Structure 1
Amino acid sequence: MMRWTCSERCLCALLDAYTETISTLEEMAEDRATRPDVASAASGFVKTLQSFDFFFGLRLALLLLAPVTPAMTAVQGSSQSVAANLSLAQRVREVILSQRNTFPRFWADVTSSAEGLGVDEPRLRRQRRPPKRLDQGAEPHQPATPQEHYKTVYVEAVDWMAAALANRFQTDDCALSMAERALLTADEEAVTTTAAFYQLDAQRLRLHTQMLVDVARERGTRLETLKDAAALLQDKPLRKVLPAADDLIRIILTAPATSCAAERTFSQVRRIKSWLRSTLGQERLNHAVMLAVHRERLEELDLETEVKEFVSQSSQRSNAFGRW
């Protein structure tokens, strides 16, 4: 489960009930019926909530998570592609970096809110000299005001978040993004890079991707997303005519854009293979999990049609289930 400090909804809930939370903890700390360890912990939480450091960190976390939370929801969509997710991550990074120079506005808002909630005033921490092994003789920088100190913290957090996003998405996912661009646009550079990375015939791939784009144009459609290309290649004769394009789209679709579907599948296994189904075989378990995960597609099936097809596949089934 995600930690509450990384969840925007949890932080918003705490901020909305900040005064009430402090009052409740104070009552717990002062109540003689409360166990001593619980009362001590409640008293410590009160001091933490009333400190400006905690409140500043809370507001800063909300600022950084504001563009991240909707992006996290968007990338979990079943129709998302690698290229779309990489583009979304890049936009999130740009939004976060745009907040680097907005500290004066953020500081004014935080100090005003802290005053209204009764939070302690911002103070400079007692400065400590660095260890002798790190002291090169020069005096360390000392912030002159609390605002200067917290500005350093603010900029460091923004830069760390942007760097983490850049490092996280600079992987082989870029190769999948390049392959998607080659399939949708037949771009010369993208085709050459993709063929070299996946060890495909570059000349054949270049020809077949260009033909795929031409076929889409003749049919009055545009290959804007991976879903459009997959729909076009549903035509079996077209797949046989353009095998290189078919191989490429299979490679792209095999590598999922996110691991959300796989994680949901693992969650379903515990529910399906319980102690009542302890003898469930691997093949049947796989089928049951797929049915549970893609329940919305299962509900669209016509059961009578499926039963007729199942019974008609052999004479033994017809004798056992009768004619439909």
Structure 2
Amino acid sequence: MPCACHSFNLTLSDMAHSFVKAISFFGIVQRIYTLFAHSTKRWKILVDNVPSLTVKSLCNTRWESRIKSVKAIRFQSPQIRLALLELYNSSGDDANIAKTKSEAESLANSLASFEFLLGMVIWYDILFSINIVSKKLQSKSMSIGVVMNEVQGMITYFEKYRIEGFESSLNTAKILALDMDIEPKFPIKRRITRKRQFDENENDNNDEEIQSPEESFRVNYFLVVVDIAIASLKDRFEQLEVFDNVFGFLCDAKRLKSLDNDDLRKSCTSFMTTFTHNNFSDVDADDLFSELKVLQMTLPNDLMSAFEILEFVKAADCYPNVSIAYRILLTMPMTVASAERSFSKLKLLKTYLRSSMSQERLNGLATLCIEKIMLEHINVETIISDFASRKARRNIFI
């Protein structure tokens, strides 16, 4: 089953590569960072004009993290534009002064475009909403039911945003443009007309509907991004929906207790059919149904996750089929974020300065970093005393 966080990441990738203007938007964001990060003098100009949030480079793998890059420009567009104009007017000893001035002027003109400001507001809203859900899905105790609820919530959000989002984003972009002394107006393209033939009527050319620049941006930019987001979410989480149909009734105590006899028996039969091979099944549907009926009565009224229900079942030691079902459920991780964090810690531990570290020491340090929460509840003084007592040299004098 694909990782839920990676699926959200690929959804954003589909949106960003859907058309040329989206690609160009993120290209401008990266160019702003590259221009100022090229030298300390340029970065000093940026810091003098932008005291709070600094521009950040785009990440090629974690697309939801691009919210940090867009946020710095979204809330500091006037200051960043002033920094670009100051860099353009500065007379430094840069060897590529002509290239620097040209790049600064180009980026300042891009920030002065109302289309760019409106696209920036739209992308910030999209990245912010997806980033919140992506952070939540990285939890260790994530279950299928919670993931499906979050996905359905995102689809509902984009469907509502498709109807109401453009007007709100347009109003926000107009306020931002007025603060930057920019006219909130879309560029008007020249209308292309063709010569009318002798057998055509005068009203034939009026049959084609002429879109306004605002409507053209909404149809060719805004709706394209949102529609691809909705389609990509439905397509990439289709397999997860199949798993939810099989394991959904076991996700939490509230959902399990809400099932009546017919729905519960139907879910047990579907579960047994899924895990049946050559007339051999891991569980018996009738026994699983009977055990779950008793479990519905004995479970506490508290909100319990699948792992907590399994602990309760193991403590009771009288629900063999339910125990097997929950163990199968919990062997299927919704995300691999925890495993990837282990590799991230290894990159921090074994650096170029620690290249000669032994495997045993590396494993020990990695375990301490990965299990940091468990480490906080360990008495370090007791461990040190025990270690010292075992390793102390004892000289026996006769």
Pick the TM interval, shorter chain.
0.7 to 0.9
User: What one-letter code is carried by the residue in structure 2 that aligns with 1:249?
Assistant: Y
Deviation at 1:139, TM superposition (A): 11
Q: Is the 8 A contact 2:268 2:288 kept in 1?
A: no
* Equivalent residue runs for 1:175-214 within 5 Å: 175=243, 178-182=246-250, 185=256, 187-199=264-276, 201=281, 204-208=284-288, 210-212=290-292, 214=294
Deviations 1:269-294 (A, max 9, x none): 2234453554315xx75565333212
Which residue of structure 2 lines up, in the alignment, with residue 71 of structure 1?
133
Deviation at 1:192, TM superposition (A): 2.6
Deviation at 1:141, TM superposition (A): 6.1
Which residue of structure 2 lines up, in the alignment, with residue 111 of structure 1?
174
Give, in whole Å, the separation in 1 of the partners of 2:67 and 2:168. 21
Aligned partner of residue 161 in structure 2, secondary structure: coil
Which residue of structure 2 lines up, in the alignment, with residue 2 of structure 1?
59
User: What one-letter code is carried by the residue in structure 1 that aligns with 2:118?
Assistant: F
Deviations 1:250-307 (A, max 9, x none): 22222222121011011112234453554315xx755653332121112213468889
Query: Which of 144, 147, 152 matches 1:85?
Result: 147
Q: Is the 8 A contact 2:144 2:244 kept in 1?
A: yes
Alignment pair present for 1:123 and 2:187? yes
* Equivalent residue runs for 1:39-188 within 5 Å: 39-102=101-164, 103-120=166-183, 121-126=185-190, 143-152=210-219, 153-172=221-240, 174-175=242-243, 178-182=246-250, 185=256, 187-188=264-265
Give, in whole Å, the separation in 2 of the partners of 1:150 and 1:287. 56
Aligned partner of residue 256 in structure 1, secondary structure: coil
Q: Is the 8 A contact 1:22 1:49 kept in 2?
A: yes
Alignment pair present for 1:226 and 2:283? no
User: What one-letter code is carried by the residue in structure 1 that aligns with 2:143?
Assistant: S
Give, in whole Å, the separation in 2 of the partners of 1:140 and 1:169. 42
Give, in whole Å, the separation in 1 of the partners of 2:375 and 2:286. 39
Deviation at 1:143, TM superposition (A): 4.1
Give, in whole Å, the separation in 2 of the partners of 1:117 and 1:66. 23
Which residue of structure 1 lines up, in the alignment, with residue 28 of structure 2?
none
Deviation at 1:18, TM superposition (A): 0.9
User: What one-letter code is carried by the residue in structure 2 that aligns with 1:146?
Assistant: P
Alignment TM-score, normalising by the size of structure 2 = 0.64
Give, in whole Å, the separation in 2 of the partners of 1:142 and 1:265. 57
Aligned partner of residue 325 in structure 2, secondary structure: helix
Deviation at 1:176, TM superposition (A): 5.2
Aligned partner of residue 101 in structure 1, secondary structure: helix
Structure 1, unaligned runs of 5 or more: 130-137, 312-317
Q: Is the 8 A contact 2:345 2:366 kept in 1?
A: yes
Which residue of structure 2 lines up, in the alignment, with residue 293 of structure 1?
370
Alignment pair present for 1:279 and 2:358? yes
User: What one-letter code is carried by the residue in structure 2 that aligns with 1:21?
Assistant: I
* Equivalent residue runs for 1:243-262 within 5 Å: 243-262=320-339
**Aligned positions, number:** 302
* Equivalent residue runs for 1:27-42 within 5 Å: 27-33=86-92, 34=94, 35-42=97-104
Deviations 1:6-39 (A, max 9, x none): 5334323212211111111011112121422222
Deviation at 1:119, TM superposition (A): 3.1
User: What one-letter code is carried by the residue in structure 2 that aligns with 1:297?
Assistant: M
Q: Is the 8 A contact 1:176 1:252 kept in 2?
A: no
Give, in whole Å, the separation in 1 of the partners of 2:208 and 2:324. 59
Overall identity of the aligned pairs, in %: 17
Alignment TM-score, normalising by the size of structure 1 = 0.77
Q: Is the 8 A contact 1:179 1:191 kept in 2?
A: no
Give, in whole Å, the separation in 2 of the partners of 1:255 and 1:218. 26
Give the RMSD, CA atoms, in angstroms: 3.6
Structure 2, unaligned runs of 5 or more: 1-57, 194-204, 394-398
